[in-house]
Amino acid sequence: MADDKTLSVEIRKLRKKLRQIEHLDQLDRELTDEEYLKVKKKDQVRKELQKLVAQREKILKDVRKMELAAQISLTKSEQNPTAGNDEEEGEEDDRIEEERQLIDSRLQHESAAEGGSDDNYSEEIAPRKSDVNADNFVAQTAVTVPSSSSTTPASTSAAASSSSASSLSTAAAASSVSQSSTKTSSSKSSFTSLPSSSTTKSSKKPTALSKVQQEWKNASFNVQVLEGHNDNITDVDCGETVIISGSRDTMLKVWDADTGHELRSMGGHTGTVTAVKLVPNLAINLSEDAVTSRSNALQHMAITGSKDCSIRLWSLGDGQMRRSIYTYSSVECLDYNKENIASGSEGGKVELWDVNTGDNVRSTISHEDIVTCIKFQDDNRVVSSSVTGVVKVWDIRDRSSSPVFSTESSDVPYKKREIRCLATNGNSIYWGDDGANVKVLELASGKLRKLRNHTTDFGSTNAILATDSCLISAGYNIDKGNGYMNVRSLPDEQYLATINDNNTSCITCMSRAQVNKEGQALNRLCTGGAEMKMWNQLPLNRVKKRTRTESDDGFITAKHVRRYSLPDVSDTEDSDDDDDDNDVHNSYEDEHDGDDEDATPSGSWCTIS
């Protein structure tokens, strides 16, 4: 059997292959025969990866068992040195069973802390009794471990067996040892009456939950798949009564947010619809012939951007296009604020358009390559990002071609990867890339922080949104091909919950609306990628009356994964550097995989028809 180090290298190679295959699958062009064959191998590569991950987890678990067995044996011998000689056969069996139960309890506790899903959101505040005992036992062991010169044969053997352990399990043991700073008095049996430790995590006093914590505590959702598009969904926007979506199939679709039924399908674009924004009907003064809708769900306008080099305004009431703005280059992203539309182009332009007249208010070649995201920070500032990993802030009140802030010219230390999503809240800018963490840039100080978005050091964040009260970021477990959402409160960025139905592919876009039902403010989420889903939070009284189990299709409860609550352990990019200089050269990476130059096909500039 391969050792942990060898397995880790192989696992990293396979994860990189899978990520490159995912990138190929998301390309907005026809794949070559060679690329198509790579995509067909995705399931095969994933099965091989899962097999290796299971082998490594078994090795780490076995090593940790030996470490805990050595600690228990050492503590027992110190408390009663003659016990091994006088112990009868029945007593020895009882002792072995008690030790086994303690080891299993501790391993379960560590597994939950490392990223397992808790059955109850409040376990962090009210831990299980077995976890408290396990913590206290290890804490007691830590203060009684003698120097290496007096180590018993049992502990020496366990230490020798543990020499091949990974740094992960060593760190876990060190963390347990450091939890106790004072020696506790020994009892007659450490296995039946364990002393308390004032420094252990599980002895925390319960704390009151804030309003936003209460909002997400054990929140239950009805999950519904919205079928209608013929290709990947590229962007979504949802309101209280209506949802709109754009796709690589060039269509804009309108959905009833209460039922999930498709209301309209609007064609007109000749290229991928890259961005959609939902706008109240009265916010735009288009013409005197605007049609009044028979449905409140359609009392809106929609703004769309497309690779066909146009921005279009649509009336959802009659499904008609009201205005088309030619942009001369492919529109990769857009945002709307009051009377202005901000757009980012394939050619690196950041442009501002008057929504009422369609006039170009401002146009600046802002980036060296594709603009991947654009957001209004407030009425006066726009934030843009690029495929080269650069973030810039623009003041739209002046005509200057220079940004008021740029990570390109600042001393912000981070590895520049393609920025896949971006959100703003106050003076904070959040973005996701092919790293495992969400990056947070504080404009006031120019400092960069990170928030955990994956339980491993390998992952990507393809969608993120920020409201006044919460930050929601999409994570992706590439080993299982499963997408999920992590929720944090704002502005304190405290981790609240993870929403995961274990049946969603990589989430590349999402939107959130707050809906009032039965006197409660509930969350509605909409996600897109290979499939489109609507996640409607259920009223509390309806959840209590349910008799269906959580495993039923379409019904999930938000979980609390403790590891997301831990701070990022590093101040550099090394912890989540998935594309570092020590890259593994394999067939997938030596050839064009679509991650860079192939992502933009040649000859994609627009022509006037």
Task: List pLDDT tens digits, range 548-597.
Answer: 444 445 789 999 998 888 876 443 344 344 444 333 333 333 333 333 33
Q: What is the mean pLDDT of the chain?
A: 75
Q: How does DSSP assign 112-137, residue by residue?
A: HHHTPBPSSGGGGTS--HHHHHHHHH
pLDDT value, residue 31: 83
Instruction: Point out which residues pair with 320 in neighbouring strands.
Output: 315
Q: Which tokens belong to 601?
A: 């096909």
Cβ-based neighbour number of residue 179 at 10 Å:
17
- At which residue do the structure tokens 């990628």 appear? 529
Q: b vs e for 431-450, b when ≥16 Cβ sit within 10 Å of the residue's Cβ?
A: bbbbbbbbbbbebeeeebbb
Q: What's the rounded Cα separation, in Å, for the pair 8 and 29?
A: 34
Give percent of the chain above pLDDT 70. Answer: 66
Per DSSP, the three-state class of 258 is coil
Residues with Cβ < 8 Å from 94, sequence gap 6 or more?
none
CA dihedral 433, 437, 438, 442 (to 10 degrees): -110
How would residue 209 be classed by pLDDT, with cut points 50, 70 and 90?
A: low
Mean pLDDT, residues 185-191: 35
| Three-state helix/strand/coil letters over 89-110 | HHHHHHHHHHHHHHHHHHHHHH
Mean pLDDT of 80-101: 59
pLDDT confidence bin for 23, thresholds 50/70/90: confident
DSSP state of 82: T
Q: Is there a contact between 412 and 441 (Cβ–Cβ < 8 Å)?
A: yes
Confidence of residue 155 (pLDDT cuts 50, 70, 90): very low
The pLDDT, as a whole number, for residue 463 is 97
Q: Are the C-beta atoms of residues 4 and 164 closer than 8 Å to each other?
A: yes
**Which amino acid appears at position 380 of this protein?**
N
Three-class secondary structure of residue 439 per DSSP: strand
Q: Give residue-wise pLDDT tens across range 497-550.
A: 999 999 999 999 999 999 988 788 899 999 999 999 999 999 877 665 554 444
- pLDDT the model gives residue 594: 36
For residues 352 and 401, what is the distance between their CA atoms, to the nearest angstrom?
Answer: 13
**pLDDT, tens digit, for every residue of 462-501?**
999 999 999 999 999 988 999 999 999 999 999 999 999 9
HSE, side-chain direction, 13 A CA sphere, residue 212: 17
Token pair belonging to 165 = 């352990």
By 3-state DSSP, what share of the chain in percent is helix, strand and coil, each rounded to 5? 30, 30, 40
Q: What's the pLDDT tens digit per position in 265-316?
A: 999 999 999 999 999 765 555 544 444 434 555 678 999 999 999 999 999 9
* pLDDT recorded at residue 10: 85
Separation of alpha carbons 545 and 543, rounded Å = 5
